[in-house]
Structure 1
Amino acid sequence: MTDRRALAAMPLRVRYHECDGQGVVFNAHYLAYVDMTAFEVEKALFGSHQTVLAAGVDLVAAESNLRYLAPCRFDDELVVSAFLTHLGTTSLVLEFEIRRGELLTTEVRTRYVFVDRVAMRPARPPAEIRDRYASFLPAADND
C-alpha cells in the first residue's frame, strides 16, 4: 500500500479510554479512526463534508475489513492515511493504513456507496465530485 498518493493523512494520539483491559486499542475504535479520516478526505478534496451534501449525495459505509498487524496502546502517536483503490459508478473503495512511526499497525479496506440524500438509495455522484476522487486513482485503474 505504499506506491499510491494519499488523499489525506490524520495524526492522532491514542487516549486511555480507547484501550481495553489488555491495554490495547479496542477493535471498534479502529473503525472510528478510519471514519474520522474519511471526513478529512472530504475536507481535503472539497473543503468540507457540507460541500458533498450540497451536491445532493452522501457516502455511507457498506462494508469494512480490518487487518491487525501490531497492537496500538495508550499514548501511541498514530497516523491514519487514506488511499483510493477503486471508483465505480456509485461506490468507491478506500484503503487506510494506520502507522506508529514507520510501523504499519493496521490495514482497513472500506467500500462506500454514494446515496441520494433524499431517497437514501445508491446514486451516481455529480461529475465534479467523481472527478476529484478519480484524480487519486492509481494509474492502472484510472481508465
Structure 2
Amino acid sequence: MNMMRAGMPAATANDVPNEPGEELTRIGEMAKLFGVTLRTLRFYEDKGLLKPIRDGATRLYTHRDKARLKLILLGRKVGFSLRDVKQIMDLYDPAGSNMRQLKVTLDKSEKQLARLDRQRALLDEAIVDLQQLVSVVRGKLADGSVQNAAAN
C-alpha cells in the first residue's frame, strides 16, 4: 500500500530529492516485489546500499531505491561482492557522464566473467569425472561384480 507521497523535508529524504508526487513503497511491498526478506532490505540499508525515507519506524522506498535494489540483486546474482556493488553504485553521478562508473563496471565484470569461466571449467571436469564413476558403478552392478569384489 503506497501511503505517502513525496514532499518530506530534505533531511529525511534520500541523497537526491524525490520527484513531486512520487509514490513511495513500504518495506513489505518492496520485499514482495523483489522476492527478498525484510531482513535483507534492512541489511542492505545497514550497508549503505539502500537509503529509504524514514517516517517514524516506517521505511518508504523511492523509485531510486527500487533501481538500486535491482542492481544489487543483479550484482549478487553474477557473483559480485556487496562491496563491489556499492562501489559501482556510489560512482553514479546523475549530472555527469558516468564514464568512471562504466569503466569500473566493465573492469569488475570482465574479472568476474574470467572467474566464472574458470569455475565452469572446473565444474565441467568434475561432471566428466562423476559421469565416468557412475558408468563404472552401473557396469559393476549390471554384471554382478560388486558381489565378487565384496567376497574378496
User: TM-score interval w.r.t. the shorter chain?
Assistant: under 0.3
The structure in which a higher percent of residues are strand is 1
Structure having greater relative contact order (Cα 8 Å, sep ≥ 6): 1
TM-score (structure 2 length as normaliser): 0.25
- More helix by proportion, 1 or 2? 2
Name the TM-score, length of structure 1 as normaliser: 0.26
